[in-house]
Chains A and B, each alone.
Chain A
Amino acid sequence: MVVQNEHKGYLLALDAGGTMTDTFLVNEKGEWCLGKYLTDHEDESKSYMGSIEDACNSWEITTADVHKGAISSTYTGTTMLNVLLTQTGMKVGLLITSGYEHTPIMERALTWLGQSYEDVLHQQLHEHTPWLVQPENIKPIRERIHGGSPYMVHHIFPGTVIIPLVEKDVVKGVQELLDDGVEVIGVLTIFSHVNPMHEARAAQIAREMVQERGLDVQVHASHEICPVSNENERLKSLLLQCYISQVGRRQLLNVEEAARKDGYDHNLLTLLSYGAAADIRFPRLYEAIISGPVGGMLGAREIAGMVKRANLVCADLGGTTFDVGVIAHNLLPVNKSPDFAGHRLRLPMVALDSIGAGTGSVIHVDEVTKRITLGPESAGSDVGTCYIYPEITIGDLDLILGYLNPEYFLGGKVTLNKEKALEMVTERLAKPLGQDVYEVSEKVLDMMHANMVDHLNAMLLSRGLNPAEFTLACYGGSGPLHAWGIERGLKIKETLVFPWGAAFSAFGCAAAEYFHRYDKAVTFFLAPAMTDEIKLMQGQGLSMAWQELENRAYEELEAEGISRDKVSFRYGVSCRYIGQVSSWEAPVIKGRVDTVEDLDNVIASFEQVYTSIYPIAARYPEIGYQITEVYLEAMAEKIRPVMPVYRLGSKNPPKEASKGQRKAYMDGKWKEFDIWEMDLLEAGNRIDGPAIIEHPMTTLVIPAENYVQFDDHKFIWYWSK
């Protein structure tokens, strides 16, 4: 059970990545320590325990001590992603509206998702994703329901049955699927988000037949997974739920069992793509498939809360990618049709923009046109030619320019070869361009920074947000190393740097709120000519929709052991001008419409969102409004980490923290940079640039015109002199 626990104890959060499983462990005083362990993809309970043990070692306690005293343990696994990438999911059977049986193969022609601009143009590279369901396991069922139209009263009412469900198709399909040994069955009918009648009936028949045969075959219906428009996206969500969620849950239960054996007496939590923590028994577990990068943003939000900042631009720079996101007014914006591994899902996911540029990104030079491209190929943990990768990378540039210490990479566990890097960068970058090697290396970094800045700006401007009101939060293994370059290009208020490397995501998991999100498609029109009476009728519909979602939330949360009085709600709608294809999500304070004024408030909220993004010329209130979806976030309380507060010491850093000086190249010149050891710096210290602060997990670069200050949480503020 996950409610406020009176006994202070440990808070555990683990983020399992493709390579490492990071632990973030907090004690009752708010002190924290980190652990690391190689991810065991066969049995994640081993790397779960290993990583916690690593963390425990620094405090000389046992994992059992931690588990016995743990208030909660949150774990993001890699199983579901792995199952998808290795194509080792369940054997899926699909019942789908007759005439749509090739939909999983046609994939709406979205064969370019996740590709770069150049690759999208190079259509030879388009490809369909591997099948999540084999063509022979797709069974058509005859039925059709009408979805309605903007012409409303002039034509068919939404949800009208045009072709009744032919139940014998369902029976025949399920028989064949079960005979063929499918392990899970999905059901999708067109417009089931408007009227789920056929889909529900088909699922019911399937479940009965499964039961008759005494089989353990789950049946999922798309309206239970995500009752919203767009059959291709809904189908992807359904198929993922079928293909991966049971395998994923098995692995998570396995982890939970290991924790319980070690003395943990709660349910294990995991992180959902929209930034919520949830019990691993959560029915729509596929929603946990993309949660890794979300952790970092949750961490950033948590810290922003501690330092009283509501607006944050988050920049997570790793070896392979640069993930950016925006938190405005403490809210995480949600993308409802995110792309993932070549699939476009219908799933609320924290809006993140990822570009294929990190310190591992390979630099290519076209000798003829002198064009330079970064990535998408990445050296990953092989760093670059300075270590064991055959191609030059951003990491090589960081090294030859003097930012990275070849003797102190990963705290000295790896020695980088500076001479080799210099030779290779000269050979492959400077010579083909006819440029000085250092000058050109700096410019390539500048180019990368500019690209990142463009993405950050795009995130802000496409939401109508003003950069000057935002704090840049820079984290990830290479965030501190390049924060200076990003900060220079952004017209941002201030910058905050976190030196915790990849464990920052684990911290974010610990900081996640406990909530579930529910979306539901609706069709309400508010035309200018309508009377108040008609408008209010539609308003009642809105109230009913929210209420339905509330009931569902109460039910699900109750099953997770959370009583009604511990649940609170956030409400919202998706709205557009009549005729528009897209909708915009707008939060609504009151989850009921009782008066025309309430309804006006809903519209006003939409108008505010819309006009913050688009110029006045793009407004069109004369044509009226359509509300397309409602959503609800149902929250329960959950304990969150508290950061220790240190006594603010002197501005002057302690002498023992100094590691002397090193030359580094910046702004076209070699300059002496002061070198510091981060762990020896104290709260209140100010370090003036040019300086480099080293840490086993990362390196922080400070140009001459900047300085950093460690506040009483030892968060690092980065300022201009």
Chain B
Amino acid sequence: MGVGYKDKTLREMLGEKDRLFAETGCIYGLKELELVENDPVTLMKFQMRLVAACTNARETAKLVSASPVALQMGEVLFMVATAEGDVVSSSHGLIGHIQCIPFIVRSMIELGFENTDGIREGDIFSTNDPLYGSPHGSDCYTLIPVFYDGELISWAVGFNHIMEVGGIVPGNLSALSPTAFTDGFLYPPMKTGEDFRQHQWWELLWMRRTRMGGMNILDDKMRVAGAMAIRGKVLEAVEEFGADYFRKATKEILERERRQYIETIKTQAVPGKYQTLKLTPVRYKGTVGKLFPNSDRDWLVHMPMETTIESDGTLTPDLEGLTSEAEFHCNMFPHGTKAMASLGLWPMFAHTATTNTALAYMTDYKIPLGSMSNPMNPFTGTSMGTGVLGAYAQQYHHVFSYTYFARGFLEECFARSPNVAGYGIDGVFGDGERWAGGNFSLIGGDSTGGQPYKDGEPCLSAITNPESDIGETELYEFYEPTGLNIGRKLVPNYCAHGKYRGGLGMVMCQLITQPGQHLTMAVFSSTSSETGTSARGWCGGYPGLGTVCYFLHDTNMKELLEKGLPYPRDFVEAREMLKDDTLKAGSVDLYPADSPNVPCKDGDLFILGAHANSGWGDPVEREYAHLEEDLRYGWLTTDVVEKIYGAISDGDGKIKVSESDARREEMKKKRAERSVDGKEWWKEECQKLLQKQFDPDVYAMYADCMKYQKFRDRMMSVWQLPEDYQL
């Protein structure tokens, strides 16, 4: 006898759901939507009830949290799911994570929880294990089964991204973790509480297995509080509408949303194939080699995606050619990849009143087995898979911006390449007191890329959370008292150029202040200045600029401050001051993105530039009036305006029109002079391929990716390589 509908087991219900979708192509086999057809208004009322339940749970519960990440950045999510695990409705927050719930519930069912530990009223289940549904360890889920009349009718779910996960590197995301054993505290789905309270052992685990146990416990309390609030609301809704209605309506909502998405695509897009690409270098060589010999190398991670918008309006994203799984932090299991990728779809067509898992039923991913997105090794490192593979979200922005542009819906283009940048921090104060922290406030507000009708803007939206928010210095610094923020600003010229330029990137600049006995910081990022934010710009605009990370050690900052001399507030100022020797540093570490654990001393400078976004269109077509504004507000400097945009200013911020027109003509002439015909260029590239003139990382990348037939075929046919070509 099962806990499900009419004494069915959850396993039976899940099997039925899978079968019905396979047979009909409709979620739960719902070819007809009776409630939608017969009484759409009542259904809408029901749906709004669930949205309200989730939203209210979030607004109330998030205040319990101890982390600015949860409270200010709102990296918190509350959901209602069907017994089978489909999320019907959710609050705002990290909405990508709704895609993980079906996998987690499936895992619990397949692990046989019904028969072993049992699933009962008052139980609390928890997990953050990537193998079973979480993208990576810092994403923690709490599930409470909702029983009505003895039947498990729904799941109430709380989720948040915690600040410290207890890995080899402090913080919540780490760009250095070869295996699951260095990822930190991972817990597979398990029953952690009964009678609506967590067990004591559960709190002890947090205290022992993470560096910020107290704060993580408060976060856990928050998830429980919110899920319990949702449970109450679900039961109220079942009382009001009836259990039959609840079961039926939740399913119809999903199928209806699936149809809505498809309709939007058919109205706004163009069917066809769209190629996008993201490249990210991973630098491990010399870092962990002695302990992890398989990791003593570098990678150029290759993340291609060919998205087909099918004739029926569904999507087939094909990831073939993706870098193979390896002993690094970038792996991620398929459900995590899909969850992260879905983040790119919300603004493009999935912005309906209820965020739900209908997306999963219209996106047919091709993820090659053995790739870093579908690893065979269950102990593979996944601590930052979300950051690297989350790049698929941006590829969707690219696909849909392109297709909407072609169809004439320019206003819906949202051409951006988001970034995930932050750091973990670990220290011992002067008196021996240990502390730790994790910060990714910079991801709370990305600049956006140029759009086909306007410039990108700084600090406008976030990839992970539609409610973008970078939080307050006065709050973050309170939790990270050794990093005195002497700059939290935009950086002039830090954008990619185009007819419509990208929004300026932002930077944080910290003066390390009285760290005591010991302090290390480790930076992570999903973009790298080695490769930029994406493989291309838009219609002749330049691709976005990646993360910049400086550590300046043994500086003369103390002296500068004492004498009231100028000091740097961003990396451009720091670099210029180093050049003219007004700023001195014993050593300078410049990382193009990720860093290892870097020891910091009093007076050191830590500077992190998040990234800056791409341009749209040919820069020499940018209107002079826009450039005059750029100069007036200091977003661009005169030399850049002249060199890149061919616009000559008179020193008072006015563009001299005839001289500039002439300059632009010259620039076009220069293009004519130094470019070659496609065929000629093709021949040159072919020669390099034949001679295998590659950097070792590029060589390794090609060698790896050409193991996949599709990518190999493309290489072979495009360059007409001999059949026996091997790397």
Contact = CB atoms under 8 A, between A and B. Distances in A.
Interface of A: 98-103, 105-112, 117-124, 126-128, 135-136, 140, 142, 144, 146-151, 153-156, 162-164, 166, 168, 190-191, 193, 229-233, 366, 368-373, 433-435, 440, 443-444, 446-447, 450-451, 454-455, 458, 461-462, 577-582, 584, 613-620, 623
Nearest to A230: B472
Nearest to B64: A618
25 contacts: A98-B486, A103-B489, A105-B490, A108-B472, A111-B461, A118-B353, A128-B457, A136-B632, A147-B474, A149-B478, A155-B481, A163-B511, A166-B564, A190-B474, A230-B472, A366-B260, A371-B353, A458-B56, A579-B215, A580-B63, A580-B65, A581-B66, A581-B72, A614-B60, A618-B61
B286 interface: no
B513 A162 contact: yes
B52 A455 contact: yes
Nearest to B216: A579
Nearest to A368: B263
Interface stretch (B80-88, B99-107, B317-325, B427-435): B427-435
Contact of A135 (B39, B45, B71, B634): B634
Q: What are the 10 tightest A-B residue pairs by CB atom distance, in nearest-first order? A: A109-B445, A99-B487, A443-B41, A149-B481, A121-B351, A454-B52, A99-B569, A582-B63, A154-B433, A370-B40
Contacts of B44: 371-372, 447
Given A123-B346, A144-B484, 7 more contacts: A99-B570, A100-B473, A120-B92, A123-B460, A166-B564, A191-B474, A581-B71
Nearest to B468: A109
B488 A99 contact: yes
Given A109-B445, A111-B461, A581-B66, A618 B222 contact: yes
A372 B41 contact: yes
Given A117-B55, A371-B44, A581-B66, A123 B353 contact: no
Interface string B417-438: 0000000000001110101000
Given A123-B461, A163-B486, A155 B429 contact: yes
Contacts of A147: 474, 477-478, 481
Contacts of A582: 62-65, 71
Contacts of A370: 36-37, 40, 256
Given A99-B489, A118-B352, A229-B474, A109 B65 contact: no
Contacts of B257: 369
Contacts of B472: 108, 229-233
Contacts of A150: 478-479
Nearest to B91: A117
Contacts of B474: 147, 190-191, 193, 229-231
B514 interface: yes
Nearest to A462: B60
B221 A123 contact: no
A41 B6 CA distance: 66
Contacts of B127: none
Nearest to B506: A106
A100 B52 contact: no
A369 B471 CA distance: 38
Contacts of A614: 60-61, 64, 225
B224 A618 contact: yes
B217 A620 contact: yes
B466 A581 contact: no
Nearest to B66: A579
Given A118-B353, A230-B472, A620-B221, A126 B460 contact: yes
Nearest to B92: A120
B265 interface: no
A135 B48 contact: no
Interface in B466-508: 466-475, 477-482, 484-490, 506
Contacts of B196: 615, 617
B355 A99 contact: no
A580 B411 CA distance: 41
Contacts of B487: 98-100
A120 B67 contact: no
Contact of A446 (B41, B67, B481, B634): B41
A580 B214 CA distance: 10
Nearest to A108: B470
Nearest to A116: B353
Contacts of B59: 458, 462
A581 B160 CA distance: 15
B458 interface: yes
A108 B445 contact: yes
B414 interface: yes
B188 interface: no
A126 B351 CA distance: 13
B42 interface: yes
Given A579-B214, A617-B196, A121 B355 contact: yes
Contacts of A144: 484, 486, 511
A136 B633 contact: yes
B384 interface: no
A117 B48 CA distance: 11
B218 to A, nearest CB: 6
B224 A617 contact: yes
A253 B375 CA distance: 72
Contact of A126 (B461, B509, B564): B461
Q: Which of A101, A454, A616 has the most CB of B within 10 A?
A: A454
B156 interface: no
B414 A123 contact: yes
B5 interface: no
A191 B476 CA distance: 12
Contacts of A135: 633-634
B209 interface: no
Contacts of A454: 48-49, 52, 56
Contacts of A148: 478, 481
Nearest to B262: A368
Contacts of A579: 66, 214-215, 218
B68 A581 contact: yes
B225 A615 contact: yes
Given A122-B351, A124-B411, A229-B472, A154 B431 contact: yes
B64 to A, nearest CB: 5
Q: Which of A117, A156, A619 has the most CB of B within 10 A?
A: A117
B583 to A, nearest CB: 14
Interface string B23-65: 0000000000000110111101100110110011001111111
B347 A168 contact: no
A105 B458 contact: yes
Nearest to A583: B63
Contacts of A615: 196, 224-225, 228
Given A101-B489, A109-B462, A369-B256, A190 B473 contact: yes
B146 to A, nearest CB: 15
Contact of A617 (B198, B467, B475, B564): B198
Contacts of A618: 61, 64, 221-222, 224-225
Given A142-B564, A371-B353, A444 B41 contact: yes
Given A107-B459, A579-B218, A229 B466 contact: no
Contact of B514 (A122, A140, A156, A620): A156
A142 B560 CA distance: 11
B444 interface: yes
A455 to B, nearest CB: 7
A349 to B, nearest CB: 16
A454 B39 CA distance: 20
Contact of A100 (B61, B64, B489): B489
B625 interface: no
A375 to B, nearest CB: 12
A106 B470 contact: yes
Nearest to A455: B52
Given A101-B489, A118-B351, A618-B222, A372 B40 contact: yes
Contacts of B36: 369-370
B479 A149 contact: yes
